[in-house]
């Protein structure tokens, strides 16, 4: 059985969907209450592969909210993640994806040091960040959506915001070794990590976000921002492709401009309907078929009986692993989400 650990994008979002999730009493509660709420299994899932194989899974709502980081409620945030992991393991789930901020909190606060959750010893082999599949899907979205817009990658400037992150660094590796892009702009806050990435890649220009945006034909957003930034579409190139892979979104509001094409990044579409309700709650456009690529990774590992933490640690995603997860993704009927034609 596979599992997904997820969370909602804001306190307002959490309050508005509490009833649908099965706990209406949470709907008028503030951050303090959510800080002490336990994890809950809120969905039973059945997925049929394009090969006909059927698997079952559970969705664990961790009750973490990005506002906990902004309000420096770090203990509450970390407890949410370890408790949700223990909950998944206690329910016998073989492989669980740590969605959205779950894996970021796990890494940033060294939760690998906390193996014991009450009477349960966490077995990290049962968890995956899902980032290899997410990075693979975002790279395919760059290639395929550029083609949709008639953008030639070998003439294009691609900016990666969050370049030094787990997903961002894998995307940069792919853009360096697998495709020919004219210019690669690297954006993040920590200069040392940016320089280390540039050295590893042997290319890329470290650029401030405000300088990168007007220069880029394609922007890949994979920064771990609890709240999105506002973009003025008039300052961008036209056409410009914005692939927003953040959860919550890295872009603060919907960009409305005929020359700016926004694509939800790290989202896959399955060939067949999935039996679940959770993607309605996170407002997917086609909730029966569309999902986060990290969640799809735990499904793929279950289909392949690969019970291992396929994606783990930071900045260790290899091109070979991206190829492997990409191959099984196609085999089981997942496709990268593309621009509407």
Q: How far apart are CA 59 and CA 98, in angstroms?
A: 11
Please report, as residue ranges, which positions from 16 to 75 form the binding site for ligand NDP (by CB under 6 A).
none
- Look up residue 121 and give its two tokens: 């010893």
- Alpha helix segments (H runs only) across the chain: 11-21, 31-36, 67-70, 74-90, 101-108, 131-148, 166-177, 191-201, 209-215, 278-281, 293-303, 319-331
Q: Of these, 128, 141, 224, 298, which contacts ligand NDP (CB under 6 A)?
A: 224
Do the beta carbons of residue 218 and residue 191 sit within 8 Å? Answer: no
- The residue among 83 and 207 lying less far from ligand NDP, judged by its C-beta, is 207
Please report, as residue ranges, which positions from 74 to 103 form the binding site for ligand NDP (by CB under 6 A).
100-101, 103
User: Does the footprint of ligand NDP cover residue 167 (CB under 6 A)?
Assistant: yes
Do the beta carbons of residue 69 and residue 225 sit within 8 Å? Answer: no
**Neighbour-count burial for 23-41, b at 16+ CB within 10 Å, e otherwise:** beebeebeeeebbebebbb
User: Does the footprint of ligand NDP cover residue 262 (CB under 6 A)?
Assistant: no
**Number of chain residues interacting with ligand NDP (CB under 6 A):** 32
- The residue among 29 and 205 lying less far from ligand NDP, judged by its C-beta, is 205
Do the beta carbons of residue 193 and residue 164 sit within 8 Å? Answer: yes
Question: Which of these ranges, 112-120, 242-250, 274-282, 323-331, lies near ligand NDP under the rule CB under 6 A?
Answer: 242-250
User: Does the footprint of ligand NDP cover residue 104 (CB under 6 A)?
Assistant: yes
Going 140 to 142 to 143 to 146, the CA torsion angle's sign is positive
User: Does the footprint of ligand NDP cover residue 132 (CB under 6 A)?
Assistant: no
User: Does the footprint of ligand NDP cover residue 326 (CB under 6 A)?
Assistant: no
Q: What DSSP string describes 143-164?
A: HHHHHHTT--GGG-EEEEETTT
Q: Of these, 146, 222, 282, 324, which contacts ligand NDP (CB under 6 A)?
A: 222
User: Does the footprint of ligand NDP cover residue 293 (CB under 6 A)?
Assistant: yes
Q: Of these, 110, 113, 121, 190, which contacts ligand NDP (CB under 6 A)?
A: 190
Question: Which of these ranges, 77-85, 176-184, 234-242, 288-296, lies near ligand NDP under the rule CB under 6 A?
Answer: 288-296
**Residues in contact with ligand NDP by the rule CB under 6 A:** 100-101, 103-104, 130-131, 134, 161-168, 187-190, 193, 222-225, 245-247, 266, 292-294, 314
């Amino acid at each position: 059985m596979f599992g997904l650990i997820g969370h909602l994008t804001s306190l307002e979002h959490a309050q508005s969907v509490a009833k649908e999730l099965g706990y209406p009493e949470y709907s008028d509660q503030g951050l303090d209450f959510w800080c002490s709420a336990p994890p809950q299994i809120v969905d039973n899932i059945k997925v049929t592969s394009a090969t006909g194989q059927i698997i079952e899974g559970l969705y664990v709502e961790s009750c973490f909210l990005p506002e906990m980081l902004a309000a420096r409620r770090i203990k509450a945030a970390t407890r949410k993640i370890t408790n949700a992991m223990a909950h998944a393991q206690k329910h016998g789930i073989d492989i669980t994806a740590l969605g959205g901020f779950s894996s970021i909190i796990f890494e940033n606060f060294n939760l690998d040091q906390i193996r014991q959750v009450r009477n349960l010893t966490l077995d990290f082999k049962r968890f995956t960040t899902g980032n290899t599949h997410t990075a693979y899907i975002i790279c395919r979205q760059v290639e395929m959506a550029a083609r949709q817009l008639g953008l030639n990658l070998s003439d294009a400037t691609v900016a990666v915001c969050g370049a030094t992150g787990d997903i961002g660094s894998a995307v940069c590796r792919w853009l360096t070794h697998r495709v020919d892009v004219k210019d690669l702009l690297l954006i993040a806050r920590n200069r040392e990590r940016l320089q280390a990435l540039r050295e590893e890649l042997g290319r890329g220009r470290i650029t401030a976000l405000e300088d990168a945006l007007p220069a880029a034909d394609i922007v890949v957003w994979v920064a771990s921002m609890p709240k999105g930034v506002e973009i003025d579409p008039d300052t961008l190139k036209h056409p410009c492709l914005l692939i927003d892979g953040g959860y919550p979104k890295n872009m603060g509001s919907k960009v409305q401009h005929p020359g700016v094409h926004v694509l939800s990044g790290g989202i896959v579409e399955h060939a067949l309907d999935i039996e679940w309700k959770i993607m309605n709650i996170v407002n997917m456009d086609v909730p029966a078929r569309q999902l986060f690529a990290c969640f799809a990774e735990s499904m793929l590992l279950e289909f392949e009986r690969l019970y291992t933490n396929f994606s783990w640690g930071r900045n260790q995603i290899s091109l070979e692993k991206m190829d492997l997860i990409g191959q099984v993704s196609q085999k089981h009927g997942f496709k990268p989400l593309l621009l509407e034609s």
